[in-house]
Structure 1
Amino acid sequence: MGKKTQQWLLLFLYLTVLVHCSAAMMFWTAFVEISYIRKNETVDRACECGVFGQNSPIEKASGIVTLPMGDPTGCGPNPIYNRTINSPLWIALVKRGNCTFTEKISAASNLGASAVVVYNVDGSGNSTTHMSHPEVEDIVAIMIGNSQGMEVLRLMKNGIDVEMTILVGNPHGPWVDTYWLYFLSIAFFIVTAASIAYFVFISASRLYNLNRHRRAQKRLKSEAKNAIKRLQVRTMKSDDVETMSDSHMCAVCIESYKAGEVVTVLTCDHIFHKACIEPWLLERRTCPMCKCDILKALGVEEEVKEDFPTQSPLEVTVITVTGGDNMYEVPLTDTGSLDPDRHRYDNRAFEGDSEAARG
């Protein structure tokens, strides 16, 4: 396994753990609505006072509130409810404590409850906790505060039937908290604005440089046209040196000169076919052979000069041999001082061969 593969695997594991931790810290609230009839008058109450269990489905549930007979915590191997699977929809209301959440919820679910509401212990007020019941995940389970649970309990002990509806509330956690949402929104806006500004700046800069380059090229071509008009043009004759030897040829088309052809003479005295050199000069403005700039040679000022990277000449070693004298190694970049004792070679070994060659 390569190093990059290991890094990607570690990053994936880190993100997986981060997602699981974020999911574990996140919870959903529940709206709890109760409805009952008292003195021939229907009373409806609602509050966002419930918290869905960690393993509970986040969905709606409703039914008649039912208390366990005997132990209010609904614990024990066989808790008793005055409801069965065949009864209309009902919700078990049990008190926290005496056994695990899984045992309470599982017992009520086995008897046909559509949901389980656990109210907190005495003295806890309206506080709730995020329940964990990993072995029971197919029934809605929420926790409400002790105050809300005792209110429903008193109504039922007075012989009042209470119907309850559980609705999905809002998500809460470190990534969905209001301040976090504000922070993430502002950060996203800043990053987006910075990205757009950078893109606009780069695009505008490129367009500006492109237009500037185009204008410069257009001006240089115009100047090149004026310069070309000032160059000498002549027609080759049969007695010209260029037409009498095949060694003279146009460096652009690599063709020999013939009598009757029209040529252009550059400021550096190099000649080329007129039809070949003019397109070349419009694009490059320099002699193909010696790189002489026709604009500078004719005194035409370039309004825009392009910057080209300059390279320093390579260090080249020149060896000079003169008869039987000694040889010296002289670098071109250091011609100011010459040390006779440095890089000295003895030529005496070649003197005999030189004399024999001269006879």
Structure 2
Amino acid sequence: MSTLFSPYSLGELTLKNRIVIAPMCQYSAENGAATDWHMIHLGHLSLSGAGLMFIEATAVEAAGRISPSDLGLWDDATEAALARVLQAVRKHSPTAVAIQLGHAGRKASVHVPWEGGHSIPLAEGGWKTSAPSAVPFTEGDETPVALDAAGLQRIRDAFADAARRSARLGLDAIEVHAAHGYLLHQFLSPLSNRREDEYGGSLENRMRFPLEIFDIVRAAFPGERPVGVRVSATDWVDGGWDLEQTVAFAKELERRGCAFIHVSSGGLSTKQKITLGPGYQVPFAERIKRETSLPTIAVGLITEPEQAEAIVASGEADLVALARGILYDPRWPWHAAARLGAHVDAPPQYWRSQPRELKTLFNAGKWG
């Protein structure tokens, strides 16, 4: 029996297998609203057979978008646009669907990647960014506004509102984005958080606002549906956020009813020095799993089915997430099942596609 293709439960949400589609920005929204691109993108990935699919990083307010084309969930228009997409996905796929809620902080107001990804000047349609401290991400960027009490409350309210909208949309889970150098990660890291109030300085203080946001989202989302957190386990910079602090953060999240932790790294500083390799972030997930009871999702250069199987079978992580790999191969779970001698759900419209020698690959009659 393949562990990768065995069921797994995040609280009351039971997944059909341990394969997760990671949230991946598409930079294809209009004023925060999902478009036909999202219908196509999420629609075809929802037919992959993965156990859980995350919608991309979704801004809780317009100023929290990475780019002007980021997806958002902050008003009735953005909620209605996403509802249209989800209605189609739900009609044709049994895959569990979650959303990643976030705020870009000082990394907001940039061009989409295929236009260079550089900061957009205010005179050219950019907007003033906010952060824990008035420290820009890169030299030459507009200096962000250090959040005051009113700004912190505005962001708390935005996360709560987005969580309530997520509940109305029927989403199965929420992931709070505290990774990749975005706002909540900026509060966690001493490299970006230079505050001298109760939200800066000590580890306890730097964790305070991200933990507040988790509590707010958890309270605003139905209790039977899981809420987890995405973390960067290390900044890959001396003197920055690191694995020891991440473990301490995870333990605090565990006490607050966090349902899972999704472990990546980096993104906060241009000075990061990352040693890349297959599964290079898996040891971070393994450490958190070992020191807490939190279910962990490992991500990062996990490309081969045997590699994914070994990660979950050995207990290094509970689930594995695919990002670029599943964009390249949207039927990765099918091909993994074939390699591992397992079975996978597929829509009946595609049953005739399985190779003759793999005629029992699909779980016929179990779709939906």
TM-score, normalisation: structure 1: 0.23
Structure with bigger RCO (C-alpha 8 Å, 6+ apart): 2
TM-score, normalisation: structure 2: 0.23
Larger-Rg structure = 1
